[in-house]
Amino acid sequence: GAVVSQHPSRVICKSGTSVKIECRSLDFQATTMFWYRQFPKKSLMLMATSNEGSKATYEQGVEKDKFLINHASLTLSTLTVTSAHPEDSSFYICSAPSGVNEQFFGPGTRLTVL
């Protein structure tokens, strides 16, 4: 199946700093990618839809100025957590659709903000 990668897989940062997470579709192009957040023992919650060539669409309650999304190319979307705080610590997962049936998920990025 199609492969989606994320980088980094794990990051620890100090409170107040910004962290960039990359999501790449390795063997297919994706005009749309999705960013999810998952807290411990909870389900995935959609944060935003990343659109190549246009602005991202954010879910209700997600601050667009805090979670900056850039869909730089047909194979790359980035999520930047700005001025990170401990409550932003979470597992961030991206996905991209390929073909007509499936979405492929990245392996996730675990963010810990100290």
Partner 1 sequence: DAKTTQPPSMDCAEGRAANLPCNHSTISGNEYVYWYRQIHSQGPQYIIHGLKNNETNEMASLIITEDRKSSTLILPHATLRDTAVYYCIVRVAPGNAGNMLTFGGGTRLMVKP
On whether the CB atoms of residues 84 and 15 are closer than 8 A, the answer is: yes
The residue among 63 and 102 lying less far from partner 1, judged by its C-beta, is: 102
Task: Report the DSSP pairing between strands 32-38 and 45-51.
Answer: antiparallel
Cis, bond preceding 8 (omega within 30 deg of 0)? yes
CB of 50 to partner 1, least distance (A): 11
Nearer to partner 1, 74 or 105 (CB): 105
CB of residue 30 to partner 1, shortest distance in Å: 9
Three-class SS state of 45: strand
Shortest Cβ 29–partner 1 spacing (Å): 12
Chain contacts with partner 1 (rule: CB under 8 A): 1, 4, 6, 31-32, 34, 36, 43-46, 49, 91, 93, 95, 97-108, 110
3-state secondary structure at position 102: strand
Cα separation of 88 and 37, whole Å?
A: 9
Give 14 or 54: the residue with its C-beta nearer to partner 1.
54
